[in-house]
Amino acid sequence: MASLSLRAQWIVLLSASVLSGALLQIFHVPAALLLGPMIVGVVMGLSGATLRIDKRFFCWRRRFWAA
């Protein structure tokens, strides 16, 4: 997984998350839209994905709680 570019890793993550969530939803699995992406994230993390979320995306929380 680490041999893929970051863009390719994000595409794999997003598409596999949507697909797995929809598949679990079809089979009426409880919390399917939460479990599908979580399973994909765990599998990608264990297989060496190097994705990181930028800290700037978490700044809104500090401003929101400070008010």
The phi-psi region of residue 24 (left if phi > 0; otherwise alpha if psi is between -120 and 50; otherwise beta) is alpha
Q: Are 36 and 20 in contact (CB under 8 A)?
A: yes
The long-range contacts involving 33-42, CB below 8 angstroms and separated by at least 24 positions, are 40/13, 40/16, 41/13, 41/17
Residue 67 confidence class, pLDDT cut points 50, 70, 90: low
pLDDT for 26: 97
Averaged over 30-59, what is the pLDDT?
90
